[in-house]
Structure 1
């Protein structure tokens, strides 16, 4: 994975990226449409420490875009005020990582991902395949992160 060069002073550590991606619930996935224009959609996800797992509807523009061109950029961000902004952008290619659509057939390679996904979004360890979604896995070629809370120029100064 390519190392971040710019903004290193506010970059998250690898551990901070993991904690952040585990806590956040929505990512924005950018694909390349058939017309060459970007298409950006929100999606739920799971981070396993080395790959981003996306559970996507298989009859969607996003799915069609990714089957034609697997390149993707994904952003997860948080914060309201400028000095609290933080986020992660992941670049890479996706691969189909389950049957299409996903059935309830047990798949040992998906057990951990599906348990984590179910716990994150339904509060139970039981993943239920709905026959409309399938798994995409992205092992990022590059990760860029920022955490403006680390910027000393933005820290409140005491008067005194």
Structure 2
């Protein structure tokens, strides 16, 4: 896996990517807001094996912004040492859902455990609840583990090369 270039979808199988996609680290969703300025929103997520799914409640400002400009970047990272970083890019697809997004339930279970996760979901699952499912099928993947995969300038510095 270390030989794959940044951007390769094959990096989703890298041990760092697999570990972070199964973790309880937050995904940080970067998008362009309706006023044209950048935003980064920390969000719980669920990885389906093909899509990174995040959820929000109806009426959230990011819904219209993502529909208008679906290109997003996501990072999921662990501080380390050494730090581990999964970078994803692609277009987000937003789907309105009556009730609770199924992956929202799965995310709460992973982040909080079965009992607390179920309690968290029950607290917001009422008649009339509406959510949006935000799904990203990555079109670009990057992995940094700062051991075998480091950013270009650091790799050059470590090997003594000049930039």
| TM-score when normalising by structure 1 | 0.70
Superposition pairs of residues 17-28 of structure 1, within 5 angstroms = 17-28=17-28
Alignment counterpart, residue 122 of structure 1, candidates 112, 124, 128: 112
Gaps of 5+ in 1: 105-109, 154-160
- Seen in structure 2, the aligned counterparts of structure 1 residues 143 and 63 have a Cα distance that, compared at 3 Å, is same
CA distance in 2, matches of 1:138, 1:7: 15
> Helix, strand or coil: the match of 1:18?
helix
Match of 2:34 in 1: 34
Match of 1:158 in 2: none
Superposition pairs of residues 1-160 of structure 1, within 5 angstroms = 5-6=5-6, 14-16=13-15, 17-81=17-81, 84-99=82-97, 102-103=98-99, 113-124=103-114, 126=118, 128=122, 130=125, 131-150=129-148
CA distance in 1, matches of 2:80, 2:40: 21
Residues 5-46 of structure 1, C-alpha deviation per residue, up to 9 Å, x if partnerless? Answer: 2599xx966142122211133011111122322111111111
CA distance in 2, matches of 1:138, 1:95: 6
Which 4+ runs in 1 deviate beyond 4 A?
A: 125-129
More deviation, 123-132/64-73: 123-132
- Seen in structure 2, the aligned counterparts of structure 1 residues 13 and 31 have a Cα distance that, compared at 3 Å, is closer
> Helix, strand or coil: the match of 2:147?
helix
Q: How many residues align?
A: 139
- Seen in structure 2, the aligned counterparts of structure 1 residues 63 and 115 have a Cα distance that, compared at 3 Å, is closer
- Seen in structure 2, the aligned counterparts of structure 1 residues 103 and 69 have a Cα distance that, compared at 3 Å, is same
Deviation, 1:121, is 2.7
> Helix, strand or coil: the match of 1:96?
strand
